[in-house]
């Protein structure tokens, strides 16, 4: 299974990608998580990405595309779900070229739809495990103990770019640079839209339903 999750920041892409990864053994490729890991390790890429991420802007395409190619090369034959990539049409075109070189095709692109006011609410209450990328929400999906990951007992933190000013910037960047990617995949007949305002469990249910229909159609 080769999937892409599209949608604005806070729509629940990472949450559902984690569920699918655990359920189907496909690899979750989150460019945001990869970049945060590079920053934590102080790599050249991490240093180059830092300013853009702090401002809520996109990291330049050539850096992201090179990073994704390394991830694709490491997959072997395993399936994947990409969350947070592609975010520009240039990234989508580069992904198409990389997949074609490998003889691979995308099965489906899922668009997570959530209105802006709900995104702002979700992001202001998001806590993450910086080591694993596991996501919680103090309102909708709290950990058993505040500030502690249920799975590995590690500390949870709030992301610096989840501050309201930066969230507003990220939503503008999504509308300007990533919405054209939605149309790119719609034009190719790959897009399935999902009402992602419902609970995590309900969204998972819808998602699995959409993927079953996709399999039945193949
Ligand atoms: P994205 O990867 O799209 O930026 P996340 O998966 O990190 O979004 O989710 C953003 C926040 O919203 C997190 O705090 C997460 O726990 C919470 N969340 C995710 N899905 C839902 C949902 N269906 N209903 C309510 N809150 C959700
Ligand atoms: P995310 O965790 O997906 O919300 O991403 C956090 C930040 O990482 C974004 O605001 C961007 O600065 C950067 N980023 C993540 N993925 C991409 C991408 N595909 N293209 C450009 N920048 C990205």
Chain-centre distance for alpha carbon 163? 19
Range of the structural domain that residue 49 is part of: 2-114+178-217
Q: Which atom of ligand 1 is nearest to the CA of 15?
A: 6
Active site residue 37: no
Active site residue 170: yes
What totals of helices (H) and strands (E) does the chain contain, helices first? 9, 7
Is 98 near ligand 1, meaning CB less than 6 Å away? Answer: no
Is 140 near ligand 1, meaning CB less than 6 Å away? Answer: yes
CATH number for the domain that contains residue 12: 3.40.50.300
Residue 123 included in any domain = no
**In Å, how far are 47, 53, 63, 81, 164 from 70, measured between CA atoms?**
18, 21, 11, 15, 33
Instruction: Find out whether 148 and 154 touch, Cβ atoms under 8 Å.
Output: yes
Domain count, the chain: 1
Nearest CA to ligand 1 atom 20: 12
In testing the pocket of ligand 1, which one of 122, 143, 201 has its CB within 8 Å of the most ligand atoms?
122
What is the chain's alpha carbon radius of gyration, rounded to the nearest angstrom?
Answer: 17
Residue 159 included in any domain = no
pTM: 0.96
Token pair of 45, please? Answer: 């890429």
Q: Give CA–CA dist 91/61, Å, rounded.
A: 6
Active site residue 87: yes
Each residue's pLDDT expressed in tens, for the chain with a length of 218 residues: 999 999 999 999 999 999 999 999 999 999 999 999 999 999 999 999 999 999 999 999 999 999 999 999 999 989 999 999 999 999 999 999 999 999 999 999 999 999 999 999 999 999 999 988 899 999 999 999 999 999 999 999 999 999 999 999 999 999 999 999 999 999 999 999 999 999 999 999 999 999 988 777 77
Count of Cβ atoms closer than 10 Å to residue 114 Cβ: 21
């Amino acid at each position: 299974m080769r999937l892409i999750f599209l949608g604005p920041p806070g729509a629940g892409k990472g949450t559902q990608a984690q569920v699918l990864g655990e359920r189907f053994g496909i690899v979750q490729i989150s460019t945001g998580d990869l970049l945060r890991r590079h920053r934590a390790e102080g790599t050249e890429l991490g240093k180059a990405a830092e300013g853009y991420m702090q401002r809520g802007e996109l990291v330049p395409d050539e850096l992201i595309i090179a990073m994704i190619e390394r991830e694709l090369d490491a997959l072997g034959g395993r399936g994947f779900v990409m969350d947070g990539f592609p975010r520009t049409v240039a990234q989508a075109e580069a992904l198409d070229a990389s997949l074609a070189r490998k003889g691979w095709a995308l099965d489906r692109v899922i668009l997570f739809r959530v209105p802006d006011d709900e995104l702002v609410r979700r992001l202001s209450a998001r806590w993450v495990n910086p080591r694993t990328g596991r996501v919680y929400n103090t309102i909708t999906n709290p950990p058993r103990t505040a500030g502690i990951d249920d799975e590995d007992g590690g500390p949870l933190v709030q992301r610096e770019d989840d501050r309201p000013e930066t969230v507003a910037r990220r939503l503008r960047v999504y509308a300007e640079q990533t919405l054209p990617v939605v149309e790119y995949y719609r034009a190719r007949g790959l897009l399935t839209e999902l009402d992602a305002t419902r609970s995590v469990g309900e969204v998972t249910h819808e998602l699995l339903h959409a993927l079953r229909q996709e399999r039945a159609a193949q």
